Structure 1
């Protein structure tokens, strides 16, 4: 035990002397900032400015204009037909709607038409407004089919439809889905950087192998198992500090509420830190050179984090990638976070945590085995 404490003290001194340590401790904050910036811009409510040229001048056309004007995030501006193209081309309006003469007659006859859309960006810019108007016109068409060309019946049914009202009571509730998504994306960035950070911490072992300090240490009464445990304890402490800093900044600086207590997120991320450390130890123990370890790190961390949904929402991935992600520890952590946000602590959460711990045990045993096999100085250059 005394030997392990001495070893942990020396590993700690070597770790805090690293010039890159502050960078890795603060780098996750950049991921939180990017996540907050991305989803904040997506949440901004934008007003779609639409110009309307009403050439039909009938009650149906006027009501359709009022319908558009009453929609949220749409601002209607009445313009002359001659000025509509210029307003849209200048960017003062995002698009235009033209109610042509005969719009009302087409509705009465059961052949709705007489609508034109104007946009400099083509169909992409007018698709939203076209979809909204299509629903409104379809309702008018349904009334026209019932009236069978009788304008008196049409007017009666139309007025009845307009006069009907539904009494609703509402209550404002907070929408936390955006915060939960920002939280999951921030955690995704964090665990990707945690894998790199764990590899950076394990890089001290590579340097000790290069200068043969590692092999001199093992000539003392210290086993490979003790060496592994000592490194894991120190690295876990440093990564726990990284997690604490990130969670505090995420909650109190960026006001991102993940929908669960900070201590639950901390415990979850510390468990993943164990997984990250054990993976880095396997890479270091199996690598026969620093260059090889660096190459394996790059080829392993980024692709698996991308497939697991750390960098992009996994819903955007092909189905086969989503299935493959079930073999990755990053995916299990994000699934656990989602389960906690939706249902709190449940059997699924315990199962996911057990799987993460199984990853840790498996990689740890593999790392210890490789350390014991590679004690010969000739296996590292």
Structure 2
């Protein structure tokens, strides 16, 4: 009961007046909704792809057909390689695809297909198209490997392989690729903004705790007949409820008012965001535990939010960053949350993202334990 009173007080102070409601609930919902509307509009328009299919076999045409079944595409045929290369290099907004003349033979022999994809400007369309290419190529390679391992003769084996692909027959080893689909672009665009707002909200909640420390309010709370765990539970529960409310409002607006289909169930979506919310609480409390001065902690937390969101893939795909930055992004909870949502939208189950959720929860446990010192009363007000 005492923890509930403390939690309600944290919520009341965070949503202090109309400004608090506007900044913490209304503004995030509006911004994220705008991004989902943009993603919805872009995903419904055909993608213009400049194409040169030089493949001497049948796999090139099959790839084109499979890509058309995955996403709406408007193919712009190019006459030769020089023409394709000149257009996509002169105009960075264009997307180009070159299918080499030995594409079918290379895949059958267990090599990479040698596809050349030109996408100098990353967009949601290019992300979806690239994901579709990767999944289609993986399906071809896995099917070829199964047929080769069956001991079929070279000529007969290739015919059997092509026949299987044309008929769309499932082979057990390729089941994981057959069930996948390109990740939903709205997950990438909208989730990045939502994660950033969640981190900002946690900063506001933790700042109210720091104010209690600096004004010796925390000391008076500890002097009252209230257990330490009730104080900690009340403060963290208030922050968690605020974050959960923000998530619920945004999902309600984008899913049921704007009718945007994320490609995953609302329960899975909510679960991933809740795990990230816990990790965000840990980060905010850890920073507050290190920087005790409430006058500068907001600036420090803002300095942490922006670069971690950039490295974690909130503003652009992690895949376009240099390799060393991609490795650094593995330490950012935003990376794990966005990747989990993208995998779910591509057809994966919750069991496939168990590692992602475990990392987010473990991050929360470690940082919340470290940042729990912020709840201790202090004689220093500086």
Q: Quick one: distance in 2 between partners of 1:44 and 1:128?
A: 15
Structure 2 residue 288 is the aligned partner of structure 1 residue 284: yes
Structure 2 residue 187 is the aligned partner of structure 1 residue 221: no
Q: What aligned pairs does 1:305-316 form with structure 2 within 5 A after superposition?
A: 305-316=309-320
Structure 2 residue 298 is the aligned partner of structure 1 residue 294: yes
Structure 2 residue 235 is the aligned partner of structure 1 residue 231: yes
The aligned counterpart of 1:34 is: 35
- The 1:250/1:377 distance shift into structure 2, 3 A limit, reads same
Indicate conservation of the 8 Å contact 1:284/1:293, yes or no. Answer: yes
Count of residue correspondences? 283
1:258 match: secondary structure: coil
TM superposition score normalised by structure 2: 0.62
2:315 match: secondary structure: coil
Q: Quick one: distance in 2 between partners of 1:190 and 1:307?
A: 16
Cα deviation, residue 242, structure 1: 0.9
Structure 2 residue 192 is the aligned partner of structure 1 residue 193: no
TM superposition score normalised by structure 1: 0.63
The aligned counterpart of 1:3 is: 2
1:377 match: secondary structure: coil
Q: Quick one: distance in 2 between partners of 1:126 and 1:328?
A: 30
Q: Quick one: distance in 2 between partners of 1:324 and 1:211?
A: 39
1:20 match: secondary structure: helix
Q: Quick one: distance in 2 between partners of 1:209 and 1:295?
A: 18
Indicate conservation of the 8 Å contact 1:183/1:257, yes or no. Answer: no
Cα deviation, residue 208, structure 1: 2.2
- The 1:287/1:116 distance shift into structure 2, 3 A limit, reads closer
Structure 1: runs of 5+ lacking an equivalent: 49-70, 76-96, 98-111, 136-167
- Which residue of 319, 334, 339 maps to 1:335? 339
Cα deviation, residue 46, structure 1: 8.1
Cα deviation, residue 352, structure 1: 1.6
Structure 2: runs of 5+ lacking an equivalent: 50-72, 102-165, 169-179
Q: Quick one: distance in 1 between partners of 2:15 and 2:45?
A: 42
Cα deviation, residue 332, structure 1: 1.3
Indicate conservation of the 8 Å contact 1:250/1:256, yes or no. Answer: yes
Cα deviation, residue 299, structure 1: 1.5
